[in-house]
Structure 1
Amino acid sequence: MLRKLFSRAVSASQRWRTRSDGTLAVAPGLGMELVGSGTLYALVALLVPAFFLLYGLNAFPLRDNNEGLYAEIAREMLATGQYIIPHLNGVPYIEKPPLLYWLIALSMSVFGPTPFAARLVSAVSMLALCGGLFVFCRRHGNARAGCCASVAVASAFPVALVAHVVLFDPLLTALLGGALLCFLHGYLARSRKAHLAYFFLLALAVLEKGGVALMLAWGSAGVFLLFMHDRSGWRYLFDRTGLALLLLVAAWWHVAAAWQQDGFSRFYFVNEHLLRFLGQRLPDDYHHGPIWFYLPRLLFMLLPWTPFLLLLVRPIGAPDPANRTIVRFCQAAVLFPLVFFSLSQAKADYYMLVSVPALALWLAVEATGRLAGSDRGLALCWGMSAAFAVVMLVAASRAGQHELGLVEVAMLSLAYAAFATVGARLFRSLQSLHARELALLGVAVLGAPVLALVLRAVDARAGRDSSIYVARIILEHPQPERAVFIYRDFEDVFSTLPFYLGRTVPVIDSASRDLQFGCRAAPAATCLSPGEFLRLREKQPVAVAVKASRANEFLALVGERGWQAEWVADKIVFFDSR
């Protein structure tokens, strides 16, 4: 069956011809839809992203960063049944809306409280986005570009890694990308249903990340309409039925949360939206950077496909009006988020993930438009991308070993240049369209072992980056019923400890910025003063998780006698001797 499909694709590719300007044209009697909507394209657009996004979701423990925070919030939702106000380690946590937590809790209800269940939401949402890119392009007569865009998004190595982490941004990227694809389809096909789908997905994005989703969606669509000089198109952004649907889906949680939680409106709308953008949010627990902060990160986000950006320096043009419109939309969907996040004072390495789908689609339209001819630029880009994939494989194979020296870096750079040159010549020697398509797929295939090696290296660092072994020490102690506490540090040190213990863990003299609002609003038994802890210690045996650098500080508080210690990397568990 597969051989028959390959033969059909090859024979079909021979019926393509190249226009004088280098763009593709279809031979008489053969429409783009017939060539581009084949089963083979659909299989590749599904199976390759499925591997990159689903492989190894349970390969390493949850990490003591945001991943541990968000997974624990979902676990507590499932355990307590409190779905309106998210709780972190027993106290309110209202920095973000709850859609991600709801979906993770749903996943955990099916698969149990595991890293796989927590990460599945990020992975499946990005996989759905890849499928949406393919379906959109196939509906508009260019399934080849849809297949290329889908594969490029999933196999872009940083994207695949982010999709293996519990974060808001993969789901936001999927919802926002899906909404923008619906908007563009509605614009091209004059589809009322597509415009309503745009508002519905946008509402879900607001429930996932808040008002930033509105800014990104309306800003990108607005810039697109300016590019198109289309005044009538603005009515799509302010459709009354669509806006009513948006409010119906997104507003109810905000009203309910403001009703239930004192201080919600001030903290959520002012502190988390306006003041975060202006760099005045309290506490100041976000990154800062120069205005060009995201330019190199956007280039890095596309690896190993980054060299294909060179095709945009001298584009071949898109003779088809629909393709021209798609390119304009992609330009807007890359430009506006880049400007918006660059102006924001709160920065993070992965924020520009939201622009990767549009950038991949833009590159796919440009690259597939050059496949039929002997294009030197495309050959050079392929050679450089394949070389990047090989270099990444070498680097991943050495992960966890000694750092590369200057001599090794120089040799690797020379090898990269040589491989890129040879690769460009190899690509130009390919005669058939089918062979060049396989060559593009080969760049993605080279990334598969890179992903496997990096996930293995991350698992090897689990003792330092996760509290799973701290939890095991506590649970395997001869007196596992001891009361457990954390001394001062929570996020970035012990955020996964409650998850792996399956219960909240009180924090002594908390220095946590993520627990700051909750400790003020409803401290309950989670946020303890040193005096409260010392009184509790007199009543029952305890175990205290302490960062190694704070060990002397902790012992000065409680006294050095009467404690037994067990170490895991830079973390210590102190057991009193009772």
Structure 2
Amino acid sequence: MNELYRNKRLAWTLLIVFIVALLFALGARTLVPPDEGRYAEMAREMFASGDWITTRLNGIKYFEKPPLQTWMNALTFELFGLGEWQARLWTGLCGLFGVLLTGYAGRRVFGERVGFYAALVLGSCFYWVACSQIDSLDMGVSGMMTLALCALLIAQRDDAPPSEQRNWMLACWAGMALSMLAKGLIGIVLPGAVLVVYTVAARDWKIWTRLHIGKGLLLFFVIGAPWFVLVGLKNPEQPHFFFIHEHFERFLLKEHHREAAWWIFFALLAAGSVPWLGVLVQSLVLGARGEGAKQFRPRLMALVWVAVIVLFFTKSNSKLPGYILPVFPGVALLVANYLDAGTRRSRMLTAGLTALLGVALLVTVPNMLELAKHPGETALYAAYQPWVLAAGLVMLIGGALALLTARQMQRDLTVLALAIAGFAGTELMLSGFEPIAQARAGTTMLPALARAGALDPKTKVFSVGIYEQSLTFYLNRTVTLVDYWDEFTFGLQQQPELSIPTIPAWIEVWRRDAAQGVHDVAIIRPELVAGLQAAGVPLRVVAGDSRRTVIVNH
């Protein structure tokens, strides 16, 4: 059983099961706000308007991020209609692409077994699998950055013929351009920083002669520049906001209120690497060791990739969990190398930690009801308990089997058992989240909103002191913001007529429409309703929960 990596039938079976399970789970949950609802709604509006240049959210100009994800989601809606799995298809495909490309790069650069292990490791890393199922920008940019990393490794290996080196380096440049279209300047800044640090650490100055910089830059600008030129011509305010505010000011200033402890990304790296935590440190250390007489040191390149990205975002004043995601293909390659060359004791440690994690999940299950922070949501966490219980059992059993096979020196089987446990456990926890996802998205309000006429484009729908990122997508329409700014501040400065700035100003509109027999609907913060009733504002509550209330003026 130590030659499983040579078994083509097994490899194809694992791949097919992985693809089916990954893609099937894309539609298992309601779109969870804020990110999933936001990016699905932006794509819906692009699809509905036909404007593929100016990105909008709730009909308001929204330039925080480039358009690649919005383009792909809008194209998916064009091909397959609106829905949850359609909104997540791009991220799911990027996650799958990353796994396949990492495995291929591992095989070409390090050998067949390492390639097999690399695909198993990345395809079971908790954070990679989870983010593959979430409609956010992080997996999209990570998939494109994986192309940049893996293409660079394949192109620069010592035995690469000139034509292959050129073609893969052009693929690397394309990956950087697509990364910039996915999330901005980090698409070229981070790979560039990695290359500089690697050059110094490896003293490999000649690598700069093998980058095909002229052709690469031409391809980079052909792919990455047109949208920035077009959107800037159409919206002159966009370049300063995007490049200065969203990049330099976000990195240097604290005004976005996204600070976190300096160690947060190290903790996320550890947690996201489950079930491979037991060999994480050893794998990183292996990346710093010598690699024989090789001119190009691929393990060191993977290590530098991980270190530069982690340290870059650690220094930033804006820290969000998804920022760490692009490191995991590099982590997978390093872990795969260590699993191939490391000790039986380290594999046993990894298996034991996985089993202990399963026990921890089982112990957590009875206390999960305490996680409910809003009234009436205890039952939702009770419905989630069986899924977490199942995930805990999978991790416990998988870890125990891996421990047994590790003791018997069945290396390939140990790695396979851990990979299956990691992937299955993550999918169970994601799939069972649906009741909580519905509560956060507010989709239980949809029948009441439909009866109130909110689905009719002629009905005015106001969002008072709140903006429901996911619910707006399910309404299949935009709403009028009232006393709400947040991420819309810049867009509303350009188009102030698209919102009502204060609640008193909205009340005047609401009262006038009620007097004229015009039916209005509002989604409002629950704590505001009593004050409106006390002030004699005409309203009737048609639905509500602990997070939002739906009222009408008739």
TM bracket, shorter-chain basis? 0.7 to 0.9
CA distance in 1, matches of 2:256, 2:47: 28
Q: Who is 2:274 aligned against?
A: 303
CA distance in 1, matches of 2:271, 2:532: 42
Provide closer, same or farther for how the CA distance between residues 268 and 287 of structure 1 changes in structure 2, counting only shifts above 3 A. same
Provide closer, same or farther for how the CA distance between residues 99 and 456 of structure 1 changes in structure 2, counting only shifts above 3 A. closer
CA distance in 2, matches of 1:522, 1:49: 46
Is 1:518 the counterpart of 2:496? The answer is no
Other structure's SS at 1:140 match: helix
Q: Who is 1:226 aligned against?
A: 200
Q: CA deviation at 1:133?
A: 1.1
Is 1:203 the counterpart of 2:196? The answer is no
2:36 touches 2:135 (CA, 8 Å); kept in 1? yes
CA distance in 2, matches of 1:545, 1:312: 51
Q: Who is 2:521 aligned against?
A: 543
Provide closer, same or farther for how the CA distance between residues 377 and 79 of structure 1 changes in structure 2, counting only shifts above 3 A. same
1:396 touches 1:453 (CA, 8 Å); kept in 2? no
Provide closer, same or farther for how the CA distance between residues 323 and 138 of structure 1 changes in structure 2, counting only shifts above 3 A. farther
Is 1:575 the counterpart of 2:552? The answer is yes
2:166 touches 2:212 (CA, 8 Å); kept in 1? no
Other structure's SS at 2:319 match: coil
Q: Which amino acid aligns with 1:270?
A: I
CA distance in 2, matches of 1:175, 1:321: 31
1:119-178 residue CA offsets vs partner (Å, 9 max, x unmatched): 111111010011001111222352222222222222122322222111111011110011
Q: Who is 2:462 aligned against?
A: 485
**TM-score, structure 1 length as denominator?**
0.82
Other structure's SS at 2:524 match: strand
Q: Which amino acid aligns with 2:543?
A: E
2:401 touches 2:414 (CA, 8 Å); kept in 1? no
Q: Who is 1:291 aligned against?
A: 262
2:43 touches 2:74 (CA, 8 Å); kept in 1? yes
Q: Which amino acid aligns with 1:251?
A: A
CA distance in 1, matches of 2:180, 2:540: 49
Provide closer, same or farther for how the CA distance between residues 237 and 351 of structure 1 changes in structure 2, counting only shifts above 3 A. same
Other structure's SS at 1:102 match: helix
Provide closer, same or farther for how the CA distance between residues 562 and 339 of structure 1 changes in structure 2, counting only shifts above 3 A. closer
Provide closer, same or farther for how the CA distance between residues 151 and 534 of structure 1 changes in structure 2, counting only shifts above 3 A. farther
Determine which structure has the larger helix proportion and give its number.
Answer: 2
Is 1:345 the counterpart of 2:317? The answer is yes
Q: CA deviation at 1:58?
A: 1.3
2:401 touches 2:417 (CA, 8 Å); kept in 1? no
Q: Who is 2:445 aligned against?
A: 470
**Which of 407, 425, 433 is the aligned partner of 1:429?**
407
Is 1:368 the counterpart of 2:340? The answer is yes
Q: Which amino acid aligns with 1:460?
A: P
CA distance in 1, matches of 2:528, 2:93: 40
1:543 touches 1:574 (CA, 8 Å); kept in 2? yes
Q: CA deviation at 1:64?
A: 2.2
Q: Who is 1:443 aligned against?
A: 418
Task: Structure 2: state its 5+ residue gaps.
Answer: 373-392
CA distance in 2, matches of 1:479, 1:73: 19
Is 1:239 the counterpart of 2:222? The answer is no
- 1:91-490 matches, cutoff 5 A: 91-140=60-109, 142-188=111-157, 189=160, 190=162, 191-237=165-211, 239-280=213-254, 284-312=255-283, 315=286, 325-370=297-342, 375-388=344-357, 390-391=358-359, 394=362, 400-402=368-370, 426-431=404-409, 435-477=410-452, 481=456, 482-490=459-467
1:337 touches 1:352 (CA, 8 Å); kept in 2? yes
CA distance in 2, matches of 1:562, 1:270: 44
Q: CA deviation at 1:291?
A: 2.6
Q: CA deviation at 1:565?
A: 3.7
CA distance in 1, matches of 2:199, 2:324: 22
CA distance in 2, matches of 1:178, 1:508: 43
CA distance in 2, matches of 1:319, 1:107: 44
CA distance in 1, matches of 2:284, 2:101: 27
User: How many residue pairs end up in the alignment?
Assistant: 521
Is 1:79 the counterpart of 2:53? The answer is no
2:120 touches 2:419 (CA, 8 Å); kept in 1? yes
1:547 touches 1:571 (CA, 8 Å); kept in 2? yes
Q: Which amino acid aligns with 1:129?
A: G
CA distance in 2, matches of 1:327, 1:209: 26
Other structure's SS at 1:570 match: coil
CA distance in 1, matches of 2:63, 2:284: 44
Q: CA RMSD in A?
A: 3.1
Task: Structure 1: state its 5+ residue gaps.
Answer: 1-9, 14-34, 405-414
Provide closer, same or farther for how the CA distance between residues 313 and 94 of structure 1 changes in structure 2, counting only shifts above 3 A. closer
Q: Who is 1:39 aligned against?
A: 8
Provide closer, same or farther for how the CA distance between residues 395 and 294 of structure 1 changes in structure 2, counting only shifts above 3 A. same
CA distance in 1, matches of 2:58, 2:294: 51
Other structure's SS at 1:155 match: coil
1:22-80 residue CA offsets vs partner (Å, 9 max, x unmatched): xxxxxxxxxxxxx9565246426624642563242111211221211111000000000
Provide closer, same or farther for how the CA distance between residues 422 and 498 of structure 1 changes in structure 2, counting only shifts above 3 A. closer
Q: CA deviation at 1:553?
A: 4.7
